[in-house]
């Protein structure tokens, strides 16, 4: 079984600040790391490959420095790493990125058929969560987003069963391979690589593919292929302090003032409470 994991190098957002004047991210002095969700995806891919005697290929689209993120993934046990790097790729939004990655996966698939593609559920720099689904759509694969657990995988029938996280609970779904999975943090715990694995990751050659290598159309990659426009980046305004109801003057007044204000904002809550009250009276 051949699994492809898509990863992204991101600025360590714990350290990122926004320049209040230019409204752009201040990246100088900020370390680049491998997106944490992607490390989980790679670890999950490696675990599956170990279980079903498969292999893992990691890919990323990014500048040459992104190589270090790929090496982190090799240390986790991926067999092969490919860097998609080309000036033409610069400035890509999620549409162009998913196109480029899908083109690469097509090429990888031609050489060695791919059963699964794993991505992090989102990248911590943009938080869009669009690239994984974008890849699935472009490749025509089934997609399983926000996956917290792979419950079963049956190579014979080509089916996979996963538990995915949804609002207020989780959902178990099953579908056919090939498929795209996007990983929640609890899908797997990235391992602390052994020394031989780490050494291998440092030495291994990383292939670099450009736009031509993946037969990407120039108008669909990079800035040209990116219809998204960022209007503005801003720091959310600081929240004002809460309202104070002074109980030193007239307690009753203060409490009434609070209730009015609170339920004025929480109309629904008030209605629910009143409805319940009605039941109780019946």
Interface with another protein (CB under 8 A): 29, 31, 192-196, 198-199, 202-203
**Which residue number, 196 or 252, has a Cβ lying nearer to another protein?**
196
Going by the DSSP 8-state scheme, the letter that residue 233 receives in this structure is -
Supply the minimum distance, in Å, between the C-beta of residue 207 and another protein. Answer: 19
Task: Indicate the length of the chain as a whole number.
Answer: 282
d(CA 161, CA 151): 5
Residues β-bridged to residue 26:
17
**Which residue number, 26 or 254, has a Cβ lying nearer to another protein?**
26
**Which residue number, 203 or 239, has a Cβ lying nearer to another protein?**
203
Supply the minimum distance, in Å, between the C-beta of residue 189 and another protein. Answer: 15
d(CA 61, CA 153): 29
Supply the minimum distance, in Å, between the C-beta of residue 199 and another protein. Answer: 6
**Which residue number, 173 or 202, has a Cβ lying nearer to another protein?**
202
Both tokens of 59, joined, read: 């890919």
Within 8 A by CB and 6+ apart from 142, the residues are 136, 175, 176, 177, 178, 179, 180
Residue 235, Cβ density class (10 Å: 0-12 exposed, 13-18 middle, ≥19 buried): exposed
Both tokens of 131, joined, read: 């690239």
d(CA 1, CA 156): 11
Supply the minimum distance, in Å, between the C-beta of residue 77 and another protein. Answer: 12
Supply the minimum distance, in Å, between the C-beta of residue 183 and another protein. Answer: 23
**Which residue number, 56 or 75, has a Cβ lying nearer to another protein?**
75
């Amino acid at each position: 079984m051949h699994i492809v994991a898509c990863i992204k190098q991101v600025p360590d957002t714990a350290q990122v600040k926004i320049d209040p004047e230019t409204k752009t991210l201040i990246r100088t002095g900020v370390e680049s790391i491998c997106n944490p969700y992607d490390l989980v995806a790679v670890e999950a891919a490696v675990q599956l490959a170990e279980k079903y005697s498969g292999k893992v290929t990691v890919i990323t689209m990014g500048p040459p420095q992104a190589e270090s993120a790929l090496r982190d993934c090799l240390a986790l046990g991926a067999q092969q790493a490919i860097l998609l790097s080309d000036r033409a790729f610069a400035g890509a939004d999620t549409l162009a990125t998913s196109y480029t990655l899908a083109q690469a996966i097509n090429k990888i698939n031609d050489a060695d058929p791919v059963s699964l593609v794993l991505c992090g559920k989102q990248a911590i720099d943009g938080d869009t969560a669009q690239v994984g689904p974008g890849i699935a759509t472009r490749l025509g694969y089934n997609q399983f987003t926000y996956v917290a657990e792979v419950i079963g995988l049956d190579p014979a029938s080509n089916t996979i069963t996963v538990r995915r996280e949804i609002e207020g609970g989780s959902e178990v779904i099953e579908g056919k391979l090939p498929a795209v999975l996007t990983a929640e943090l609890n899908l797997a715990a990235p391992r602390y690589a052994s020394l031989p694995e780490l050494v291998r990751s440092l030495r291994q050659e990383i292939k670099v593919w450009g736009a031509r290598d993946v037969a990407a159309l120039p108008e669909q990659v990079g800035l040209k292929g990116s219809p998204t426009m960022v209007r503005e980046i801003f720091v959310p305004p600081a929240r004002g302090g809460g309202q104070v109801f002074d109980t030193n003057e007239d307690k009753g007044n203060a409490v009434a003032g609070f209730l009015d204000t609170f339920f004025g904002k929480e109309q629904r809550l008030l209605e629910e409470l009143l409805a319940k009250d009605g039941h109780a009276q019946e």
